[in-house]
Amino acid sequence: MNTAKATMSYEGVTRSAMYYFEENGYLEKVVAYRYKDHDDRHNQSIACTGEVKENKQMNGLTIPTHMDVLWD
């Protein structure tokens, strides 16, 4: 499995996400730490994982078109 880390900043807030790729180069999942606001851990950043469930070919590119989101 191959990985890439992306870090983005917007209006003074900087966050990172890890992207996990299958051996064929297709995206498998994305993991980022986010704030979840409707449970007793709402003040803590917890892992949020987007798992790719479906890809489609569009203009010669393979694009994830369906993902399941899980909170760890």
pLDDT digits (tens, 9 = 90+) for 3-35: 999 999 999 989 999 999 999 999 999 999 887
Backbone torsions φ then ψ of 24, nearest 5 degrees: -80, 0
What does the pLDDT look like over 53-72, one tens digit per residue? Answer: 999 999 999 999 999 999 88
Which residues lie below 8 Å from residue 38, measured CB to CB, with a gap of 6+? none
Confidence category of residue 42, pLDDT binned at 50, 70, 90: low
Query: Per the confidence metrics, is the pTM higher than 0.85?
Result: no
With 0-12 CB in 10 A as exposed, 13-18 as middle and 19+ as buried, what is 31? middle
* Nearest residue to 45 via CA among 64, 72, 7: 72
Domain range list for the chain: 2-71
* Nearest residue to 46 via CA among 36, 57, 59, 58: 36
